[in-house]
């Protein structure tokens, strides 16, 4: 949910249609990932007995949500709008997205180390593979932004925003 909101929000400040398209495509796909993860959670929890709920550590969640799907981190922190980032600076946002995709891949790696159920493993492997593709596409989008900049010193500042005098100030020398 956070990734989808991040990407679909960031698309509006991207400087070219390549980046906008990548963010739209991946943001939409992330909604499908939310559906897949929610389906897995539902399938794993729908028939729990009260004994299983109590012994598994699921009781606090159950008290608030029964077995309804409520997005939260593995540590129990619920999702909120602060989970997604949109800075309005294409370079900053794309680096944020690259990091987010790597963190998601690592999360899926960790799940795969813990889970033995093939009905969970197969979709998680698929999702992990998609995170790698998303990372690559964001790298391509970042390169398209960098190639359009009027300066190649884009690691120190973003010339499109930090040096607007070249194109807009009449009094600059």
Angstrom distance (rounded) from CA 93 to CA 100: 10
Share the mean pLDDT of the chain.
Answer: 87
Instruction: Give the per-residue pLDDT at 82.
Output: 75
- pLDDT recorded at residue 149: 78
Handedness of CA 87, 91, 95, 97 (dihedral sign): positive
User: Reduced to 3 states, what is the DSSP secondary structure of residue 112?
Assistant: helix
Cα-Cα end-to-end distance for the chain: 47
pLDDT > 90: percent of the chain: 59
Please, which pLDDT band fits residue 102 given cuts at 50, 70 and 90? very high
pLDDT tens digits for 8-66? 999 999 999 999 999 999 999 999 999 999 999 999 999 999 999 999 888 888 898 88
Q: CB within 8 A of 69, min separation 6: which ones?
A: 38, 41, 42
What would the pLDDT profile of 73-82 be if each residue is shown by its tens digit?
A: 777 788 877 7
Asked if pLDDT for residue 146 goes beyond 90, the answer is no
Please say whether the beta carbons of 93 and 116 come within 8 A. no
Rg (alpha carbons) of the chain, rounded to whole number: 20
- Integer CA distances (angstroms), 134 to 45, 85, 121, 143, 152, in order: 29, 17, 20, 14, 25
Which carries the bigger pLDDT value, residue 77 or residue 119?
119
Write down the pLDDT at residue 160.
56
Q: How many CA atoms lie within 13 A of 149 on its CB side?
A: 23
For residue 156, is pLDDT > 60? no
Domain 2-150 is in which class?
Answer: mainly alpha
Query: What pLDDT score does 159 carry?
Result: 54
Does residue 157 carry a pLDDT above 90?
Answer: no
């Amino acid at each position: 949910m956070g990734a989808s909101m991040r990407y679909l929000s960031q698309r509006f400040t991207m400087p070219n249609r390549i980046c906008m398209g990548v963010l739209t495509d991946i943001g939409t796909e992330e909604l499908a990932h939310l559906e897949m993860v929610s389906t897995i959670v539902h399938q794993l929890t729908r028939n729990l007995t009260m004994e299983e709920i109590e012994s598994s550590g699921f009781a606090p969640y159950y008290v608030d949500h029964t077995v309804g799907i409520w997005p939260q981190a593995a540590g129990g922190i619920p999702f909120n709008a602060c989970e997604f980032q949109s800075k309005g600076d294409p370079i900053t946002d794309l680096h944020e997205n690259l990091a987010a995709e790597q963190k998601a891949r690592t999360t899926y790696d960790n799940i795969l180390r813990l889970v033995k159920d093939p009905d969970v493993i197969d979709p998680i492997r698929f999702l992990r593979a998609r995170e790698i593709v998303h990372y690559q596409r964001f790298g391509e989008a970042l390169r398209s932004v960098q190639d359009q900049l009027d300066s190649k010193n884009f690691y120190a500042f973003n010339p499109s925003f930090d040096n607007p005098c070249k194109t807009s100030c009449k009094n600059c020398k």
